[in-house]
Amino acid sequence: MLSVNFSPFHNLETKRLLLRRVNNNDVKEVLALRSNPETMKFIPRPLLINDQDALAHIAMIDFKIDNNEGINWAITLKGSDKLIGLIGHYRIKEQHYRAEIGYMILPEYNGKGIVTEAVNAAVIYGFDVMHLHSIEAIIQPANLASAKVLEKSGFVKEAHLKENEYYDGRFIDSVIYSIVNIK
C-alpha cells in the first residue's frame, strides 16, 4: 500500500512560480480566495467570512500536512511571497495509489497559464514523490476553464456523474478527469 510522508515539506518551483507552504501570513489572501463568490462558484463549500475563518482554514491545511492526509501549496509568483492561489492533493486513497487534485486562483490571475503551470508541478510531485498511480480532479460541468486547464495538463475526462452531490439546497453534477502515471 502507498504510504505518503510530507515531512520535510517540499516547495515546488516552475519557470514562473514558487509553490510554498501556506502560513498564517497568508490570512488576507486565503480569505480573499475563499470568501469570493466568483472564486468559490464551482466549489461546493461555505464561503469564509472573516480572518478567523481563514486562519482555521490554514490550520486545517497544516493539520492535514502534519498528519500526511493531504498537501497544499500557496501559489506565488517568483520574486513575490504573496499567495495568489492554492493547489494541493486531497482525498488521498492510499490503497488505490490515487489522490484528488484541487486548485483555485485569485480572479485577476485567470487566463495567464498560472494554474496550468502549478497543476503540472503538482502532478509531477504526485507521481515522482508521492508515488501515485493516478490523480483525479472533480469539477462541475460548467467549469469550462478548469476543464481546459486539466486537458492542457494531460488529464482525460473519465466520468460525468449526474446529481451525485447535494449542496446548498440543490443536486449538482460532477465531472471526473484523471491522469495516469505511465512511468
Q: Which of 96-125 are b and which e, b meaning 16 or more Cβ less than 10 Å from the residue's Cβ?
A: ebbbbbbbbbbeeeeeeebbbbbbbbbbeb
Measured CA angle at 126 (ends 123, 130), to 5 deg: 170
pLDDT for 182 equals 85
pLDDT for 154 equals 98
pLDDT for 126 equals 98
* Domain spans, the chain: 12-180
pLDDT for 183 equals 73
Give pTM, 2 decimals. Answer: 0.96
| Superfamily of 12-180 according to CATH | Gcn5-related N-acetyltransferase (GNAT) (3.40.630.30)
Q: What is the pLDDT along the chain (183 residues), one digit of tens a residue?
A: 899 999 999 999 999 999 999 999 999 999 999 999 999 999 999 999 999 999 999 999 999 999 999 999 999 999 999 999 999 999 999 999 999 999 999 999 999 999 999 999 999 999 999 999 999 999 999 999 999 999 999 999 999 999 999 999 999 999 999 999 987
pLDDT for 1 equals 86
Q: What are the distances in angstroms from CA 175 to CA 26, 128, 132, 160?
A: 30, 26, 21, 4
